Structure 1
Amino acid sequence: MSNYSIKDLENLSGIKAHTLRIWEQRYHFIEPKRTDTNIRYYSDEDLKLILNIATLRENNCKISKIAKMTFEEINGKVMQIAEKNLRFPDQINSLTLATIDMDEDRFEKILNNNIVKYGFEQSMLKIIYPFLAKIGMLWQTGSILPAQEHFISNLIRQKVTVAIDGHFVTEEESRGKWLLFLPENELHELSLMFAAFILRSRKFKVIYLGQNLPQEDLQSVKRLQNPDYVLTISTTSPKKNDVQQYIDDVADLFSSATVFVGGYQVIGEDLKRKKNVEFMYKMEDLIQFVEEMGPDYTKEDSEKTSKVMRYS
């Protein structure tokens, strides 16, 4: 069982801590426990209840009415909303609950419903990415176990793998060649996999090398493959002090290609960019770049698009 502060509940549900305290006093929804040093904390069941209440309120259910419902009635109402009303915040809350309970059937049902409604790409952008950000908060506060995080990451990975396999691109129909890889010791692969889907679904050839690629191996890859574009993502590796040198080395090695670099080690950092380097702050940047590429796209066009991305 995990413990949560009232600030955790606020961050995860969007309901202000002040409001939660008023509800405690007025409706007795939740009764926080206290540590030996008299610090208030909340349980998994408290978090699930607050997430469910947040979903009901987002769907115009008054708090006075919710207060009269049993825990089972609240759960049932939320399940009906999740199945019928595919609003993004509702789906994110439902996926969070499925993660806490490690409920694979519920997770699959919610995600599949959204993919049918919105398509795989929009489901990733509008639901899965915000959901993963919420799970990241839970992980950082120690509110979910590594097993829960691995459980949900593997389910999403399976979905992305199937989506990628549905878009095979031959050399003849390819609009250009992309080389995708993660730096050595970098293991956070979901964004790179999603990038592969985005590119293959738009008829680009993708050479996918995956996670944890030693930098010295890039020399051999360069000799075997001569990509038009390179994409790498740095979330935890290299270390911040080494990121600039790493980007410069990749840019120099693939000097005739456009090199895209994204990830937490890049976003918001004061890094210099060589002429052939583009910083990818969000996945929509990649989508914007490839969407602006017509069938007769040239290297000159690529440079124009890059300038638009830099100043948009």
Structure 2
Amino acid sequence: MTGLLVKNYGIKKAAKLSGVSEYTLRAWERRYSIIIPFRSESNRRLYSEYDINKLKLLRKLTERGIQISNLSSLSINDLKGLLNRVDSEIISTDEKYLQLYDIASVDKTINDSLEAIKNFNEKKLLLILHRAYKKSNFLEFVENVLFPVMVKIGYQWKSGLLRIAHEHFTSAVIVKFVLKISSEFEIKNKAPKIVITSPDGQHHDFGAIIGDSLAASEGWKSTYLGVSLSAEDIATAVNQTNSHCIFLSIIYPNDNPRMEAQLLELSKSIHDDVVIIAGGNAVTGYKDILTNINAHIVKTPKHFRDTLKSIRNQIRIDKRENYEKKYL
């Protein structure tokens, strides 16, 4: 325990290790006295490993919707227990998809889509998707139509009712439709920037395309790089575009032995304030390394959208703080 209490980290390093911005660290200290860092002779804030571990727990709990004011009096063990209870109540991605699959079996839109897919009828499938989209917003369309269709296609392929050609056909048509929708979203010149791709060895583009469109629907300026890119290439794009965020689509496989090294290299090759988000069926297979690099793991399209909103709000706060430092 003694080693954990040694004050080793300045505020910039503490922010990178914990995933909590410098501005938020100061605000939590000032308003709630949650973490009171040691002060050096030159009045620099210094944080211990224990402080970092507690900050990580606080970040995860606030990401799950718990107000920081309700956490200020809890010990680190209390925070761990609360996080375990909260996570046990969150439906896993696979369970979410299974529920959508069951619901979809009685939904006319889904069944009509499946009929068009079985016959490789692109025109009919596009018409069905268009009608469904007009009845909802983009997030609802993704969660209630696109994902259930892809899940059901996957199950029918695995059970021998459909061929792999049907799955590829479905993905190609949906990607074409989604890209058309994305082009209609209005993106402002000063919009926050995000790079969207998948790491080397991840060849499925469906999750990345959906992530790209969801980001655009939230007003983000997205740079879509395609799939299966090296850490070096991803970092180059992020740094050259001055992006605030990266979304990594991780769908299959969930046991790539090179993934840990790739993610570590990516984390070290980008600026400290760039946020990494990861989502997809296989993301749980890399949970430890993603947690280690302070990535945000998203489990549903809504979770991804809410995470983008939270990051955007933090960007606004940081800009305001920088302005105040410079001019006030």
What is the TM-score normalised by the length of structure 1? 0.61
Contact 1:183 1:238 in 2 (8 A): no
Contact 1:243 1:265 in 2 (8 A): no
Q: State which of 298, 304, 307 in structure 1 corresponds to 2:317.
A: 298
Q: State which of 271, 276, 288 in structure 2 corresponds to 1:259.
A: 276
Cα distance in 2 for residues equivalent to 1:180 and 1:13: 27
The total of aligned residue pairs comes to 219
Partner of 1:153: 171
The alignment's C-alpha RMSD in Å is 3.0
In the alignment, residue 249 of structure 2 is paired with which amino acid?
Answer: I
Contact 2:194 2:220 in 1 (8 A): yes
Cα distance in 2 for residues equivalent to 1:13 and 1:271: 29
| 1:14–1:298 distance in 2 versus 1, CA, 3 Å | closer
Q: State which of 116, 121, 146 in structure 1 corresponds to 2:134.
A: 116
In the alignment, residue 274 of structure 2 is paired with which amino acid?
Answer: A
Percent of aligned positions that are identical: 18
Cα distance in 1 for residues equivalent to 2:234 and 2:265: 10
Larger radius of gyration: 1
Q: CA deviation at 1:108?
A: 2.3
Matched residue SS, 2:225: strand
Partner of 1:246: 262
Q: CA deviation at 1:275?
A: 5.5
Partner of 1:179: 195
Partner of 1:128: 146
Cα distance in 1 for residues equivalent to 2:100 and 2:159: 11
Partner of 1:18: none
Partner of 2:119: 101
Partner of 2:49: none
| 1:295–1:222 distance in 2 versus 1, CA, 3 Å | closer
Structure 2, unpaired ranges of 5+: 1-98, 321-328
Contact 1:198 1:287 in 2 (8 A): yes
Partner of 1:166: 184
2:158 equivalent to 1:140? yes
Partner of 2:21: none
Partner of 1:42: none
Q: CA deviation at 1:265?
A: 2.3
What is the TM-score normalised by the length of structure 2? 0.59
| 1:233–1:299 distance in 2 versus 1, CA, 3 Å | farther
Higher helix share: 2
Contact 2:138 2:214 in 1 (8 A): no
Decide which moves more: 216-225 or 123-132: 216-225
In the alignment, residue 278 of structure 2 is paired with which amino acid?
Answer: V
Cα distance in 2 for residues equivalent to 1:13 and 1:244: 32
In the alignment, residue 157 of structure 1 is paired with which amino acid?
Answer: V
Deviations 1:227-249 (A, max 9, x none): 21111112125743333333332
Cα distance in 1 for residues equivalent to 2:237 and 2:286: 28
Matched residue SS, 1:118: coil
Structure 1, unpaired ranges of 5+: 1-10, 16-50, 56-88, 302-312
Cα distance in 1 for residues equivalent to 2:195 and 2:205: 14
Contact 1:244 1:271 in 2 (8 A): no
Q: CA deviation at 1:141?
A: 2.5
| 1:226–1:150 distance in 2 versus 1, CA, 3 Å | same
Deviations 1:57-91 (A, max 9, x none): xxxxxxxxxxxxxxxxxxxxxxxxxxxxxxxx221
Q: CA deviation at 1:163?
A: 1.1
Cα distance in 2 for residues equivalent to 1:96 and 1:193: 21
Partner of 2:224: 208
Q: CA deviation at 1:142?
A: 3.1
In the alignment, residue 187 of structure 1 is paired with which amino acid?
Answer: H
Partner of 1:46: none
| 1:251–1:216 distance in 2 versus 1, CA, 3 Å | closer
Deviations 1:20-71 (A, max 9, x none): xxxxxxxxxxxxxxxxxxxxxxxxxxxxxxx9xx74xxxxxxxxxxxxxxxx
Q: CA deviation at 1:146?
A: 2.1
| 1:12–1:125 distance in 2 versus 1, CA, 3 Å | closer
Matched residue SS, 2:194: strand
Matched residue SS, 2:257: helix
Cα distance in 2 for residues equivalent to 1:295 and 1:164: 25
Deviations 1:260-301 (A, max 9, x none): 111222136552413631112222211112334449733599
Contact 2:200 2:228 in 1 (8 A): yes
Q: CA deviation at 1:94?
A: 1.9
| 1:299–1:191 distance in 2 versus 1, CA, 3 Å | farther
| 1:240–1:299 distance in 2 versus 1, CA, 3 Å | farther
Cα distance in 2 for residues equivalent to 1:234 and 1:165: 24
Q: CA deviation at 1:106?
A: 2.9
